[in-house]
Amino acid sequence: MPIIKRVTSLSDGRELIYFDDADTTLGPHRPADPREPRPRPATPVIRQDPLTGEWISIAAARQDRAFLPPAELDPLAPSTPGFATEVPAPDYDVVVFENKSPSFGPGLPAPNPHHRGRHDADAAGGELTGLGLGRELPGYGRCEVICFGPQRTGSWADLSASRARTVVEAWADRTAELSAIDGIQQVYPFENRGPEIGVTLHHPHGQIYAFPYVTPRTRALLASISHYGPALMQDILDFESKSERVLISGEHFTAFVPFAARWPVEVHVLAHRQVPDLGQTTDAERDEIAGIYPRLLRALDRLYDSPTPYIAAWHQSPVGQGHAGVRLMLQVTSPRRAKDKLKFAAGAETGMGAFIGDIVPEQGAARIREALSELDLRRDHWLRGSLRHAARCCLVRTWPGQPHR
């Protein structure tokens, strides 16, 4: 059975999309949002910092967003008769909806008939180029929340294989759909996990930002590609694949600790082919992501005796610039440098953007490889036990009443 996408809307007009697992037990019916419609917040503005040329979103409506509510008031849980949440259904597999307190949007620019969906980012963002004082524009765009399941606690690493594949499909779907909106220049799926990162909801979830500009990090990458040449990301893959920092070598992706890791825990997962974003991955590539990603997260959780906080960031090409050499890459980073110590982006990092690494990348990679090996041993032990149990049951059924070995 395929993963099924069901599109509906909330009472205030926000789009809500259910993604049903391939092996879902849910029926097709989804109840309507029973809440009274409330007005959407005003579209924020973006202002340019003339010192860097970067655009800053001024989204005052986010100041009043939910902050670590108790479990019974979880706004991402399924609705119950006594408490209507952001998800009207009494149960769901994966759900995506527009953020009630967005950093960009809900306003979108008027459609441009000349762009026809995917478009050239520089042509679409002419107003965003250049530098000046007091420059301010509407903060067009879209911000979505993606819930990894109805459970109020847990993490991505706890998902079943089927559920993990559904989340990957949702990421790919939303990347393609949001990239087709005029004025959107980059789509960014990400997840913040853990109070140390600053999460405001415990419910396992991520977000998807559709930016009206190309982000500073990606502009820096484009500049590096322009200076080095279009083969930069392939050469990085070849260089890292020969190193002791490799963690997982798949058919379509390689996971490694980068040569110049900034954070105490940092893992990059780089595509083997020149695929610009999740929306243009194949089914086989999505299958592999759904296997590699949770395996990495489980290994990171074994580094210490409590869950590892992290930021998982999908770096994708700007919309319409797949030819520019930017290749799909996942970057997972954690500030945890010891059992009870965190690395803070303090004076040098925040003030100058100059990172100082606390852990040698090769040593960090060795620790993660050890955790992966432990996971593999546990899995093999479980499989052997399951096979022995199945064999005993088979003997009992085949020769009832007879002794078996």
User: Where along the chain do its domains lie?
Assistant: 4-224+273-345
Query: Is the confidence at residue 401, as pLDDT, over 70?
Result: no
Compute the residue count for the chain.
Answer: 405
pLDDT of residue 143: 97
Nearest to 10 by CA among 36, 33, 38: 33
pLDDT digits (tens, 9 = 90+) for 176-198: 999 999 999 999 999 999 988 88
pLDDT of residue 383: 56
Active-site residues: which are they? 205
Homologous superfamily of 4-224+273-345 in CATH? HIT-like (3.30.428.10)
Residue 165 structure tokens: 């594949």
Amino acid symbol at 250: G
Nearest to 86 by CA among 39, 41, 38, 33: 33
Mean of pLDDT over the chain: 90
pLDDT of residue 170: 98
Distance CA 192, CA 65 (A): 16
Query: For the stretch 12-25, what's the b/e string if a residue is b when 16 or more beta carbons lie within 10 angstroms of its beta carbon?
Result: eebebbbbbbeebe
Tell me how far the alpha carbon of residue 339 is from its chain's centroid: 25
Q: Pairing mode, if any, of strands 205-211 and 186-193?
A: antiparallel
Residue 296 structure tokens: 């990495």
Distance CA 267, CA 252 (A): 16
pLDDT of residue 122: 44
Distances (CA, A) of 224 to 44, 120, 221, 296: 31, 20, 5, 28
Please report which confidence band the pLDDT of residue 117 belongs to, taking 50, 70 and 90 as the band edges.
Answer: very low
pLDDT above 90: percentage of residues in the chain: 76
Query: Is the confidence at residue 211, as pLDDT, over 90?
Result: yes
Mean pLDDT is highest, among 61-75, 192-206, 294-308, for 294-308
The arithmetic mean of pLDDT across residues 230-234, rounded, is 97
pLDDT of residue 381: 61
What is the pTM (predicted TM-score) of this model?
Answer: 0.90
pLDDT digits (tens, 9 = 90+) for 60-107: 888 777 777 788 899 999 999 999 999 999 999 999 999 999 999 999
324 and 187 in contact (C-beta within 8 Å)?
Answer: no
Mean pLDDT is highest, among 355-359, 375-379, 387-391, for 355-359
